[in-house]
Amino acid sequence: MTTSEAITEVSPPPILCRIPQAANMIGRCQRFIYEAIATGQIEAVKSDKRTLVVVESLRKYARELKPAKIKPMIRRRREHPLMGHNNPPAGQRLR
């Protein structure tokens, strides 16, 4: 077998993950993960003294979130900082 024929090993997706990894996976803080476990939104198990989050429960949580409704941004014309309404007319100085 040549190097171009090398087979790459594919690892299965994780079943469990630690709290910091779970927070990173869904873009939330660790405190939220603990609260979501406490309220039953996310499932967790104990392995020895470690708390591990069930990855499928993170996927379920994400699937059940409501779609975001974002209004289109309206571009406003920015005034030049020196031409605003509080500035004196050109040629006059503040005293």
Most distant pair of Cα atoms in the chain: their distance:
86
The one-character DSSP state at 65 is: S
pLDDT averaged per 10 residues, the chain (length 95): 68 94 97 98 96 98 95 79 60 60
pLDDT at 90: 62
Q: Quote the pTM value.
A: 0.64
pLDDT at 73: 86
pLDDT at 76: 78
Rounded CA gap, 24 and 17, in Å? 11
What b/e string do you get for 49-70 counting C-beta neighbours within 10 Å, with b at 16 or more? eeebbbbebbeebeeeeeeeee
